A and B are shown apart, each in its own frame.
Chain A
């Protein structure tokens, strides 16, 4: 491939390159640098409160300042540092390791990054809106609601919105990575054969897809409590304090369940990529293949599955009954066992090896040792009697830092390991080893004394005098740990110029494909089409590819003969538009021609910027301030306009000519992306419906209907809407049939019909809501609106979320109608099919909501 054309991208030295790029390696670098920035941000906050903790009675930050510092430190490190840091590597390396030229949806990938960056900026802005969030990173209810937030509480609202934005980035990223890994592996590479780091990322994104959907539900509900005035997390709705007979007795525990259903898988989401990095470094620097690799992988799969059934071990003291405690104790112990196996697998990988103590290996080995300590202290927490007493103390703090920061330790090893690949330069090994020494010393001096001083309650700035020595040690350790990063930044920065140039592979015994290409790799990644068909990595030239795809159509799979070669878009639900299936021949022909892959798009940046402005505006709309209202409007318009721009932009991401696609060889990539997205949407609605059921059971299932719902809330509008939606779903099928038969008129008519029925649904709902808002009865003299009671909150918010899905569907439908009018889709109904998937899903959701909110 020629160096002259960078596929429409400016050179890396140009600033505009980094705003335009959709290339996975560029975005990986952006992720890494941004995540390191947030590491410093969260780290400085930690140093601030560690400084205050140096003596039992010091008051450096003030009480609210202290609470803000500990809360945002946790949020920044967990959300904005550690996972995105791991995903910097994932972005850079997964396509290289599995033999893909990029991710399946490059613009979506850029969009993920920009949403992540802007969510972090919004988090930063929250510090300047009075106070930021101060209720701990676990955000327990009802302390997380405006009633208990001093001042206007806009900063706290911004944090909630920033987390929603972050979650959107994660969900898009999960869809993208899953589609990539199941559709774009090099020939001969079965799922179990992909390098262990990529495999760990695969399991991580599966967990992310579902866990973050639950978090999204929790955050959307919380944002609604902040902005719209619903009352999910307020147990006392008229504002008085009370001990019993609460208006919404399920409020506090609802949050705890939703949060920990996300929160526990999150632990593994954070740790799995680190495990992957450790395993890679162990293999390379011991010169041994991973011992028990198969069982290592099975263990990871088991953990990923079990991670969704351990969450209540965070809630042992909330009054859950003994059988449930016993079950969760068992699952908790169960999930610790696969980790034992993985640890021993790593230990035995060193046996008969040629262990070289390079910086990356030191960090990996250090991470393993720290993780062993973290794991053992975790078993203490598995014994419920001990857990009761450790609850809310520094034992928990010390334990999870030994686990999570052990993970971060492995990732820093990864940074040294892949630094030569990413930059083409070698870092300074001596300085690297010194940094490890300082880091390891600082780490243990910081966190180990916390075990000894474990009786200190979490998140307090006053502690018994007798514990001062340990807290002082920890503070000193914290500063040593912090200082070690100065060494790392210096080393990695200076080595960009002074480092020795490295060839493709500076590490003896490295095996995975990223080491087989130049450092840094070219924009196209590989000198030919990568293939493992012979059991060993080869790069096939175009002729072989063409030959092979003709001979074995199965390998190239998707013989949807020719397509218009037009635009492949990757906007998920929003841009369900013609997807291109590039055939093998096309790919073979396009080399050097006009039809090469696109890499530049400005829209992802603009969409995210618009989203940021809109969310910043939303954080203050409840004050009625003109400033906030207007920027909310400006931001929304920018975002919407940019989404339309992104959809209309010609962007070409060809499918691989030859690829391993088990088990989705029959599922085209847009379709797979849509399915994956809907899977997470199912969890989102599931969490909303689960929340409804939970608060209703806590209130009393039948009393709920009697006490909280007005007689005016009748079944009829819901029934009519059920028919409207069912009919519209049928019309989408007709549109597909018409497109298949190449009847333009039929296609347009069916789409218009779908649109009309959808609009009818919304109008009917509008009339219903308007009526309920303005009823005036004895029980509900002021109408039945979002804030009236918990039943009205669940009704409006859950059906409102569904309504929002309908509106998005209608926007897509309108767009497709125009396209169909202009002659699109004839003979190729796939885009309509993908829209149909979404629309049927929205329909099915309603079939659950209707009985739940109208009949039962």
Chain B
């Protein structure tokens, strides 16, 4: 995994300076459109439903105001449909057009999320992520392993995610990146952070007693700080102040594997 070129090169770090559209921006845009339209459609349809329910409410009077327009069902009749099917079709067509066009519109965005930005993608910072009960190992190109994810600002980061015991799911909600951590195989996801700061990474698949607490920090650093930090890693072991949160396999009280 360790690519020697990365060790030297502050200068060739392909920074995109915030030009790459982050997954969080894609998500926010789609989510906003859906929320807006969804709310509108919901309000219209529910109001329309209530309008019908109330308008045709039986006032308790003896006469049927629509007696000449519709035939009332009779006891013991063979079930048939009522009149007014055309309106159903019109309404259905409108709803179908809304749904299909919305999803079709998101499809181009899905392709972007799937393929990643070009050409920054090609030289993305690749980090292996291994989930275990109940924490994460982040393995850098030089082999350095941490439990906190450190990434530089304005750089595309590609994660190769797996798990070493049960099914987990790695997500950094604020950066809108998420993927399943399946034991025995890798999945991949990418993100880029345009703001420095500390974010939370969480596990999104029930994995045992410590699942609720299986969170860790994601530290987004300015370029130069990250380079400094990375240069200090010697490429083999976790740095001194990192504590391995891995729970001993025999800790059955926490749901660990019995020895």
Chain A interfacial positions (CB closer than 8 Å to B):
63-64, 66-67, 70-71, 134-136, 140-143, 147-151, 188-189, 193-196, 235-236, 239, 241-244, 246, 248-253, 283, 286-296, 315, 317-319, 322, 325-326, 329, 333, 336-337, 340-341, 343-345, 347-357, 365, 368-369, 372-373, 376-377, 379-380, 382-386, 388-389, 391-393, 455, 457-462, 505, 509-513, 515-516, 532, 535-538, 698
Binds A, one of B50-58, B220-228, B230-238: B50-58
Given contacts A246-B183, A386-B106, A391-B204, contact A380 B75 (CB under 8 A): no
A365 to B206, Cβ gap below 8 A?
no
Closest to B66 in A: A352
Question: Which of B80, B100, B178 is the one whose CB lies under 8 Å from A289?
Answer: B80
Closest to B33 in A: A383
A536 to B77, Cβ gap below 8 A?
yes
A193 to B76, Cβ gap below 8 A?
no
B206 to A67, Cβ gap below 8 A?
yes
Question: Which of A248, A252, A319, A380 is the one whose CB lies under 8 Å from B38?
Answer: A380
Given contacts A293-B79, A372-B49, contact A354 B180 (CB under 8 A): no
A516 surroundings in chain B (CB, below 8 A): 75-76
Given contacts A286-B56, A351-B84, A536-B77, contact A63 B49 (CB under 8 A): no
Q: Is B103 an interface residue, CB under 8 A from the partner?
A: yes
B73 to A283, Cβ gap below 8 A?
yes
A319 to B74, CA, bound (A): 56
B52 to A347, Cβ gap below 8 A?
yes
Chain B interfacial positions (CB closer than 8 Å to A):
26-27, 30-31, 34, 38, 41-42, 45-46, 48-50, 52-54, 56-58, 64, 66, 69-70, 72-85, 87-89, 91-92, 95-96, 99-100, 102-103, 106-107, 109-111, 113-114, 130, 132, 162-167, 169, 171, 173, 176, 178-180, 182-188, 202-213, 249, 252-258
B73 to A459, Cβ gap below 8 A?
no
Of all A-B residue pairs in the complex, the 8 with the closest CB atoms, nearest first, are A392-B204, A293-B81, A537-B76, A249-B184, A289-B82, A246-B184, A319-B187, A460-B212
In the assembled complex, 15 residue pairs joining A and B whose CB atoms fall closer than 8 Å, in A order, are A148-B255, A236-B183, A293-B80, A315-B180, A325-B114, A333-B103, A336-B99, A337-B100, A341-B92, A350-B56, A352-B69, A372-B42, A460-B212, A511-B77, A536-B76
A373 surroundings in chain B (CB, below 8 A): 42, 46
Q: Taking the nearest CB of chain B, how far is it from the CB of A143, in angstroms?
A: 4
A379 to B34, Cβ gap below 8 A?
yes
Q: Taking the nearest CB of chain B, how far is it from the CB of A589, in angstroms?
A: 28
A295 to B91, CA, bound (A): 13
A460 to B48, Cβ gap below 8 A?
no
Interface residues of chain B: helix, strand, loop or mixed (majority): mixed
4 additional contacts (CB under 8 A) given A253-B185, A511-B77:
A288-B70, A333-B99, A336-B99, A383-B30
B52 to A461, Cβ gap below 8 A?
no
Given contacts A318-B180, A385-B30, contact A67 B208 (CB under 8 A): yes
A134 to B212, CA, bound (A): 13
Question: Which of B72, B182, B208 is the one whose CB lies under 8 Å from A318?
Answer: B182
A318 to B249, CA, bound (A): 26
A380 to B178, CA, bound (A): 17
Closest to B71 in A: A289
A257 to B54, CA, bound (A): 46
Closest to A189 in B: B78
A291 to B167, Cβ gap below 8 A?
no
Q: Taking the nearest CB of chain A, how far is it from the CB of B106, in angstroms?
A: 4
A693 to B184, CA, bound (A): 17
B81 to A148, Cβ gap below 8 A?
no
B106 to A383, Cβ gap below 8 A?
yes
A288 to B56, CA, bound (A): 11
A239 to B257, Cβ gap below 8 A?
yes
B166 surroundings in chain A (CB, below 8 A): 140-143, 148, 252
Question: Which of A243, A294, A393, A510 is the one whose CB lies under 8 Å from B75?
Answer: A510
A513 to B76, Cβ gap below 8 A?
yes
Question: Which of A67, A340, A357 is the one whose CB lies under 8 Å from B209?
Answer: A67
A329 to B106, CA, bound (A): 11
A355 surroundings in chain B (CB, below 8 A): 52-54, 56-58
Question: Which of B53, B81, B92 is the one whose CB lies under 8 Å from A340?
Answer: B92
Most buried by A among B34, B45, B70, B107: B45
Given contacts A236-B183, A385-B27, contact A354 B64 (CB under 8 A): yes
B169 to A383, Cβ gap below 8 A?
no
B184 to A251, Cβ gap below 8 A?
yes
Q: Taking the nearest CB of chain B, how far is it from the CB of A237, in angstroms?
A: 11
Question: Which of A135, A193, A241, A283 is the one whose CB lies under 8 Å from B78?
Answer: A193
A766 to B134, CA, bound (A): 44
B179 to A317, Cβ gap below 8 A?
yes
A317 to B92, Cβ gap below 8 A?
no
B58 surroundings in chain A (CB, below 8 A): 287, 354-356
Question: Which of B38, B69, B77, B113 is the one whose CB lies under 8 Å from A377?
Answer: B38
A404 to B165, CA, bound (A): 32
A140 surroundings in chain B (CB, below 8 A): 166-167, 205-206
A193 to B80, CA, bound (A): 7
A293 to B82, Cβ gap below 8 A?
yes
A241 to B132, Cβ gap below 8 A?
yes
Question: Which of B83, B202, B207 is the one whose CB lies under 8 Å from A143?
Answer: B207
B167 to A252, Cβ gap below 8 A?
yes
A377 to B38, CA, bound (A): 7
A538 to B255, CA, bound (A): 65
A140 to B203, CA, bound (A): 14
Given contacts A340-B99, A382-B103, contact A291 B88 (CB under 8 A): yes
Q: Taking the nearest CB of chain A, how far is it from the CB of B92, in angstroms?
A: 4
Q: Taking the nearest CB of chain B, how far is it from the CB of A662, in angstroms?
A: 15
A241 to B137, CA, bound (A): 14
A292 surroundings in chain B (CB, below 8 A): 81, 84-85, 88-89
A193 to B169, CA, bound (A): 48
A136 to B203, CA, bound (A): 14
Given contacts A289-B79, A511-B76, contact A150 B255 (CB under 8 A): yes
Q: Taking the nearest CB of chain B, how far is it from the CB of A464, in angstroms?
A: 9
Given contacts A193-B79, A383-B103, contact A459 B211 (CB under 8 A): yes
A287 to B72, Cβ gap below 8 A?
yes
A384 to B106, Cβ gap below 8 A?
yes
A64 surroundings in chain B (CB, below 8 A): 209, 255
B81 surroundings in chain A (CB, below 8 A): 289-294, 296
B180 to A340, Cβ gap below 8 A?
no
A383 to B102, Cβ gap below 8 A?
yes
A319 surroundings in chain B (CB, below 8 A): 179-180, 182, 185-188
B167 surroundings in chain A (CB, below 8 A): 140-143, 252
A195 surroundings in chain B (CB, below 8 A): 79
A392 to B99, CA, bound (A): 23
Q: Taking the nearest CB of chain B, how far is it from the CB of A481, in angstroms?
A: 20
Q: Taking the nearest CB of chain B, how far is it from the CB of A457, in angstroms?
A: 5
A143 surroundings in chain B (CB, below 8 A): 166-167, 206-208
A239 to B164, CA, bound (A): 11
Question: Which of A189, A391, A462, A510 is the one whose CB lies under 8 Å from B178?
Answer: A391
A149 to B184, CA, bound (A): 20
A246 surroundings in chain B (CB, below 8 A): 183-184
B42 to A252, Cβ gap below 8 A?
no
A386 to B27, Cβ gap below 8 A?
yes
A217 to B130, CA, bound (A): 31
A74 to B74, CA, bound (A): 42
Question: Which of A250, A345, A393, A461 is the one whose CB lies under 8 Å from B204?
Answer: A393
A242 to B164, Cβ gap below 8 A?
yes
A384 surroundings in chain B (CB, below 8 A): 106, 110
A357 to B57, Cβ gap below 8 A?
yes
Most buried by A among B34, B206, B207: B206
A388 to B191, CA, bound (A): 13
Question: Which of A142, A250, A344, A385 is the one whose CB lies under 8 Å from B26?
Answer: A385
